[in-house]
Structures are given as structure tokens and as C-alpha cells.
Structure 1
């Protein structure tokens, strides 16, 4: 009996300043646990109306294949998160979110799948559709490409870099 491979979508958001190197390190860590099959473009999301790079985040989605269970995958995703502390000794912010795991529907205190913001945030759905447009949302019974086409434009966001520049396929 061969091991079962699972497919997941993982959303990453990091501080824009210094984020490229941090993203490469996180992706290398994830590659130790599975395969990065696809990666969306990387977008810059401004957190203030002034659109300053110092307060912007880089955001993207990867399609990840692994033999880990959903609990193991969630543990790996959460282990990559870092909450920056305010002040001069600030560590960088890194947030990883498990958006989907196969076609699993789950609602628990620890994890909700598919992640509710997947279809509600225009930037997340756009990135997810780039990484795995054919994925059929198990609740809405539509592909991510279909959902992305009907989504509102992503405000306070713009293209930053090609996602493939962060990984070696």
C-alpha cells in the first residue's frame, strides 16, 4: 500500500522589508516536509493609506503536497509563524495559514477548513487561484478560478515579484 499524498494551500504573509530572504527560508523549511508544487505571484499589501513600504506586507499562496496528516501539516504551518514585537528589537512578522487540505471540511476550535478568508479576501483568493485554480471549493462547489473571477479587486495591494523567484522547482 503506497502512502497517500495530500494537497494543501498555504497562505504566507511577511514584512515586506527583509521578507524575501525570510520567505525563502520558510519555503526551504516547508520543502523538508513535502513538495511545493506551485506558487502564486507575490503581492505587496499596504497596511496604511499612505502606502509606505515600511508598513507593507508581502503575501502569496503556495500549493503544497505532503504525506503528513492535517494535524502534522498544521503543526508545521504554525511553527513557521512569528509575531514581531514593537520597538527597536523587533523580530520580523511571519504568518502562515493553512487554507485548504485536500477537500476536507472541518470546523473546530483549532482549525477551520477551508479557511473562511479564502473566499472573502480578494487578494487571498487571487493568490490561491494562481497557485491552484482548478481546486474545487468543497462548500461552494466552484473552482478557485471561478471564485476569483467574481471577487472584488484587491485594495491596497499591488504586484511585487514573481513567486517562482523564491523557490527552485
Structure 2
């Protein structure tokens, strides 16, 4: 049997209707491997007005799989959806492969670890919750150590426990 690989995947969905969408996405991800842990889910406001209609739910999962990094990237990209405006608005779903084992990659298709993982205060906090002991292969610090020095996530607040979205 192939050795399992560990990946961190960031998920952002429209807040309105997001709980059901998140459960569907996580069920699809479970078809490709195992969700080892999931961070808390945060509500990120996209405008200063802090209106739920203009907010996203965001979280990070730690995923164990026998898929290659290319297969994992393909799975992540296949689940992304660009929302469209108007009456038949399709919801927005953004997934980002943050890390895959200790891989360091720089290609037009994929950069690992994700270059903005440590610069976005909410993403680094969620990633540290999902896999705090992961050692960033470039900074040589754990995600817990990196998140302790991150700036506060100003436009975000706790929404729900991540484990409420998936049955472990």
C-alpha cells in the first residue's frame, strides 16, 4: 500500500447556505482520503458593514490521502466554483492546497507551501488549529509558532466548531 500523505486544505464558502455546502464538500473530500482534523469555522466579513450576505465561512482541514500531489491539486481545483451575480447566483467555493507533506514546489500550477498561508492571519490560525505541529519547510517553525506571532484577524469572528460539519 502507498504511504499516506498529509495535506492542509483551506476552504472558503459563502456564509449564506454555507453549512450544507460545506458538508457536501467534505463528503466529496472523504471519498479521496481521510479528514484527520478540522479547524474552527470563522466568519470573514468582506466589507466594513459586516453584513452576513457579504461574508464567507472559512476553515482549514488536515487531509490524509494516498493521492499524489498532482491528484490532490486536481481534486481541490475541481471543487472550486466562481460565484456569479444576479438572480441565479451560484455560490462561491474556494479551496486552496496550503501544504502537501513537506513539499516545497514553485511551478506555474502550484506553489507549496502556499505563499500567503503565513501572511493571512485567519488562514494561519485555522491551519495551526488543524495541524499545529506541521513544520513549515521554509521557515522551519511549526504552524503553532507562526500563528502566535500573527496579527489579529480583524474582519473575522468565530462562527461554529468545525467538527460539527463532519463525523469523525
Shorter chain as denominator, the TM-score bin is over 0.9
* Inter-partner Cα distance in structure 2 for 1:18 and 1:79: 20
Q: Which residue matches 2:69?
A: 70
2:80 aligned with 1:81 = yes
Question: CA shift at 1:4, angstroms?
Answer: 1.2
Q: Which residue matches 2:22?
A: 23
* Inter-partner Cα distance in structure 2 for 1:105 and 1:132: 18
The TM-score, its normalising length taken from structure 2, stands at: 0.99
| Unmatched runs of 5 consecutive residues or more in structure 2 | none
Question: CA shift at 1:25, angstroms?
Answer: 0.2
What count of residue pairs does the alignment treat as equivalent?
168
| Unmatched runs of 5 consecutive residues or more in structure 1 | none
Q: What SS does structure 1 have at the residue aligned with 2:28? A: helix
Q: What SS does structure 1 have at the residue aligned with 2:158? A: strand
* Inter-partner Cα distance in structure 2 for 1:168 and 1:117: 29
Q: What SS does structure 1 have at the residue aligned with 2:50? A: coil
The correspondence of residues 1-169 of structure 1 with structure 2, limited to 5 A, is 2-169=1-168
Dislocated runs of 4+, deviation >3 Å: none
After superposition, the CA RMSD in angstroms is 0.4
Q: What SS does structure 2 have at the residue aligned with 1:4? A: coil
